[in-house]
């Protein structure tokens, strides 16, 4: 067996080779290089070996300078793959391994979060690269948030969304493709339900909800306040007006001869409804003044005609939802709509027709039927 230092020397050479392959125009080769590099980095942190300085510098430079390039996507994908491998491991030293891996990138992730979500989508020249960066970083952000909930580490990068939620809440209002906005709305919903990372861990997430901690409770309250503040500035109207084709099972292509039946995106409606209700619940559990959360703009929007709550989620007609809405002054939101009043008729049309006698009211067929049913007279003797 070769000594460990010879193996590590070969690993460092392969890491440098993987960094060079990131710049290859062949997408498949670049993806394979990222996957191999992720396994090598995981082996290093698993064996408690110091990470490659060349790799750390490469990631820090690309994530700090410019986010609309292919190198950033490869870095984000590799970092996400390493964290996935850490969570899939069955050892008991997951917090220590993850701490060793996140320490060099703590401030880098924070700077990248602020710079990426501070951009204006309509001002970007290469929107496709920005979309790739958004998708990859959202997956990484979900893993970081989940690690902060389940492994209870105290890194700033694990609380990026809770420390500055207003930046990410603006993304669903961008003129971005519909699937981008759906991904971010669903991510916000998962944060409220403590289900972040359940689709990425492949069954490694704890089944039970983590106990409420002081720091986590403060983060959830800050998130709820940010959502309600965004709603007061018209966030719901911007989120619910999702442009593009609705997501359908089997594809969204319209065949020739078929009509395009436009319908609301129920994925967005249900997720947004749950986000708003959880925000109201958390705020209601922590408010002090009776009228603290009875905002006029929020109340008028929810209680307006054609309430989107009733349209989005009929399952909200539950005692818990009614009690929550009644407590915040929105008792009539889930009430059934009033019955439609019949149109007023003309005075002449309201007069009832004159009553007819039984003989005149019967037609010829009915007269025959009556005579047929009449008993025959017996002849007199």
Contact 284, 324 (CB under 8 A): yes
Residue 206 lies in a domain: no
Name the token pair of 355: 């009553």
pLDDT at 316 over 80: no
Cα-flanking dihedrals φ and ψ of residue 192, to 5°?
-70, -30
Contact 373, 365 (CB under 8 A): no
Q: Which pLDDT score, from 0 to 100, does residue 213 have?
A: 59
Half-sphere exposure of 112 (CA within 13 A, CB side): 29
Mean pLDDT rounded to a whole number for the chain: 72
Mean pLDDT to the nearest integer, 136-142 = 94
Mean pLDDT to the nearest integer, 87-103 = 85
pLDDT tens, 214-256? 778 889 999 999 998 998 888 888 887 655 555 454 445 555 5
Residue 152 lies in a domain: yes
Q: What is the C-alpha separation between 328 and 283, in angstroms, rounded?
A: 10
pLDDT at 200 over 50: yes
Separation of CA 377 from chain center? 85
Owning domain of residue 9: 1-157
Q: Which pLDDT score, from 0 to 100, does residue 150 have?
A: 80
Residue 8 lies in a domain: yes
Give percent above pLDDT 90 in the chain: 18
How many structural domains comprise the chain? 1
Name the token pair of 89: 């491991």
For residues 146 and 290, the model is more confident at 146
Of the pLDDT bands very low, low, confident and very high (cuts 50, 70, 90), residue 366 is: very low
Q: Which pLDDT score, from 0 to 100, does residue 222 have?
A: 93
Contact 149, 100 (CB under 8 A): no
Residue 113 lies in a domain: yes
Q: Which pLDDT score, from 0 to 100, does residue 82 have?
A: 92
Q: Which pLDDT score, from 0 to 100, does residue 160 have?
A: 93
Mean pLDDT to the nearest integer, 142-160 = 87
* Most confident region among 61-75, 83-97, 295-309, 323-337 by mean pLDDT: 83-97
Residue 301 lies in a domain: no
pLDDT at 195 over 70: yes
Residue 12 lies in a domain: yes
Residue 298 lies in a domain: no
Residue 127 lies in a domain: yes
Q: Is 175 helix (H, G, I), strand (E, B) or coil?
A: coil
pLDDT at 139 over 90: yes
């Amino acid at each position: 067996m070769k000594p460990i230092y010879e193996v590590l020397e070969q690993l460092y050479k392969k890491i440098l080779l993987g960094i060079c392959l990131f710049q290859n125009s062949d997408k498949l080769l670049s993806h394979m290089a990222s996957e191999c590099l992720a396994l090598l980095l995981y082996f290093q942190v698993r064996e408690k070996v110091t990470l490659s300085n060349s790799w750390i510098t490469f990631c820090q430079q690309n994530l700090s300078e410019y986010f609309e390039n292919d190198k950033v996507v490869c870095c984000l994908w590799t970092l996400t793959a390493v964290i996935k491998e850490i969570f899939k491991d069955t050892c008991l030293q997951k917090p220590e391994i993850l701490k060793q891996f996140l320490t060099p990138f703590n401030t880098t992730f924070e700077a990248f979060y602020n710079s990426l979500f501070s951009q204006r989508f309509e001002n970007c020249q290469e929107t496709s690269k920005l979309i790739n960066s958004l998708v990859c970083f959202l997956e990484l952000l979900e893993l970081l948030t989940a690690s902060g909930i389940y492994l209870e580490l105290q890194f700033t990068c694990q609380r990026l969304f809770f420390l500055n939620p207003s930046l990410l809440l603006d993304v669903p209002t961008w003129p971005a493709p519909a699937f981008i906005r759906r991904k971010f709305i669903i991510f916000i919903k998962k944060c409220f339900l403590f289900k972040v990372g359940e689709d990425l861990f492949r069954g490694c997430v704890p089944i039970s909800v983590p106990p409420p901690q002081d720091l986590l409770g403060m983060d959830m309250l800050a998130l709820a306040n940010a959502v309600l503040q965004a709603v007061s500035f018209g966030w719901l109207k911007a989120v619910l007006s999702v442009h593009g084709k609705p997501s359908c099972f089997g594809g969204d292509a319209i065949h020739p001869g078929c009509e395009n039946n436009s319908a609301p995106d129920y994925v967005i409606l249900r997720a947004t409804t749950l986000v708003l209700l959880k925000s109201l619940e958390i705020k209601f559990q922590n408010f002090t003044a009776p009228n603290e959360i009875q905002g006029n703009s929020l109340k008028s929007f929810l209680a307006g005609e054609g309430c989107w709550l009733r349209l989005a989620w009929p399952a909200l007609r539950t005692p818990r939802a009614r009690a929550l809405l009644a407590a915040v002054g929105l008792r009539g939101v889930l009430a059934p709509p009033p019955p439609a009043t019949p149109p007023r008729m003309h005075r002449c049309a309201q007069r009832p027709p004159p009553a007819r006698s039984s003989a005149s009211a019967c037609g010829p067929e009915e007269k025959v039927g009556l005579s047929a049913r009449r008993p025959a007279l017996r002849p007199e003797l």
